[in-house]
Amino acid sequence: MSIEKEINSIREKFSEDLGRVVTSKDLEELKVRYLGKKGSVSALMISLKDAEDAQKPILGKSINLLKNEIALAIHELMEKINSAELDQKLQKEKIDVTLPGKRRRLGRLHPVSQMLYKVVDVLIDMGFSVQLGPDVDSDFYNFEALNFPKDHPARDMQDTFYITHDLLLRTQTSNVQVRVMEKNPLPIRMVAPGRCFRNETVSARSHIFFHQIEGIYIDKNVTFADLLATLDELWRRLFEKEIKTRYRPSYFPFVEPGIEADILCTQCHGGGCRLCKFSGWLEVIGAGMIHPEVLKAGGIDPEQYQGYAFGLGIERLTLLRYGISDIRRFTENDNRFLAQF
C-alpha cells in the first residue's frame, strides 16, 4: 500500500476507533496505539525513508498533519471524558450535610464515683478540706489507736482481711482519724473519701468492697448539736427533696456518744423489701463525738478540745438516691445499667 493510502486508511481507522472510546483508560490506550513510539503514526514516519526523495517532504507534511489531527482529537475527547468522569465521581461522593451526625458515646464516671464527688463537693462547700488515707494500713491505725484493744469483741463487728499479722485492708475510713490528728494543726475540719474492705457476706445492701467518706471536726466547743446540724444539711443538699431520716444510739469504741443514721428506704418507701432487710430503713452512716482516748492517741488534749466524726457509706447513699435495688449492680460492669447515670 502506498504511504498516501496508508495515511488515509489510518485516518479512517482512527475515526472508527475514536467512536468506540468510552473511558479515559480506553483513550490512553488509543493514544499509545496511534501516537506511541511503536504506534501507527511512528511506523508511517519510519516507512518514509523508502519513499522517493521528491515525495518525502510532501508525505512528511501529510503524516505530520495526521499526527496533529489525531493529537487534537484525543485531547478534545480527553477533556470531555475527564469532565464527565469528575461529574460522576462528585455525584457518587456527594454528602448530604443535612443528615444527622453519628453520636459518639462518651465514657462517664461510675455512679458511685459521681455520688462520692458530690458528697465531697457539698462538704468542701461546708468548710471541710480533703485528705486521703492508705487502703492498706496497720492494725494500729485501723483499730488500736481507735480504742479497739487487741481481742476487743468490737473488732468482730468488722470482719477483716489481714495481709500479715499487723497489716490489713482497711475496714473503715476511720483509719485516717489519728493520722490526721498527728499531722495537722488545730482546729481540724476535714473529710477523707476512700475504699473499704470487709470479709462479709455479700447481700443487696452489703459488699466486701465499698466506699466511705470520713468526716472529722475538732475544735474548742464542738458539740453533738453541731454534728446533727451538719448531717441534716448534708442530707438536704444531697437529696434535693424531702427524705425521712432517723438517728439511733449506737456503739463504736472510738466515739462517745455514738449514733447511726437511717434513711427511709426509697425502694419500698418503708413498706419493707430485700434492700432494707424488710425494716423499711437503710443505715447509711455511723457517727459520734470523738472518744477522749482517741484524741489522746492523736496528741490532742481532750480537756481543751472536742470533736465529732462520721463515716458515711457511699454505695448505700447511691442506692437510695437513684432507687437502685441491689449493691451488686455496681460491680457487674453492665453498660446498660451504668449508661443510665
Which residues of the shown chain bind ligand FA5 in the complex (CB under 6 A)? 172, 174, 198, 200, 206-207, 210, 212, 252, 255, 258, 283-288, 309-311, 313, 315-316
Nearer to ligand FA5 (CB atom), residue 44 or residue 287: 287
Nearer to ligand FA5 (CB atom), residue 3 or residue 216: 216
Give the residue from 249, 209, 239, 242 showing the smallest Cα distance to 320: 239
Q: Name the closest residue to ligand FA5 (Cβ).
A: 313
DSSP codes, 60-101: HHHHHHHHHHHHHHHHHHHHHHHHHHHHHHHHHT---TTSPP
Residues contacting residue 321 through CB under 8 Å, at least 6 positions apart: 115, 238, 239, 266
Nearer to ligand FA5 (CB atom), residue 40 or residue 172: 172
For the bound state, the minimum distance from the C-beta of residue 286 to ligand FA5, rounded and expressed in Å, comes to 3
CA distances from 178 to 134, 147, 152, 231, 289 (A): 13, 11, 19, 22, 14
For the bound state, the minimum distance from the C-beta of residue 261 to ligand FA5, rounded and expressed in Å, comes to 8
Nearer to ligand FA5 (CB atom), residue 60 or residue 302: 302
For the bound state, the minimum distance from the C-beta of residue 282 to ligand FA5, rounded and expressed in Å, comes to 8
Residues contacting residue 287 through CB under 8 Å, at least 6 positions apart: 227, 231, 255, 258, 259, 260, 261, 308, 309, 310, 311
Residue 212 is placed in which grid cell? Answer: 466511705
Residue 95 is placed in which grid cell? Answer: 454528602
For the bound state, the minimum distance from the C-beta of residue 186 to ligand FA5, rounded and expressed in Å, comes to 18
Cβ(227)–Cβ(218) below 8 Å: no
CA distances from 276 to 44, 165, 267, 310 (A): 103, 35, 8, 21
Place of cell 475510713: 173
Nearer to ligand FA5 (CB atom), residue 189 or residue 207: 207
For the bound state, the minimum distance from the C-beta of residue 92 to ligand FA5, rounded and expressed in Å, comes to 59
Nearer to ligand FA5 (CB atom), residue 39 or residue 313: 313
For the bound state, the minimum distance from the C-beta of residue 146 to ligand FA5, rounded and expressed in Å, comes to 8
Nearer to ligand FA5 (CB atom), residue 39 or residue 194: 194
Pairing of strands 245-250, 167-169: unpaired
For the bound state, the minimum distance from the C-beta of residue 287 to ligand FA5, rounded and expressed in Å, comes to 5
Place of cell 511506523: 43
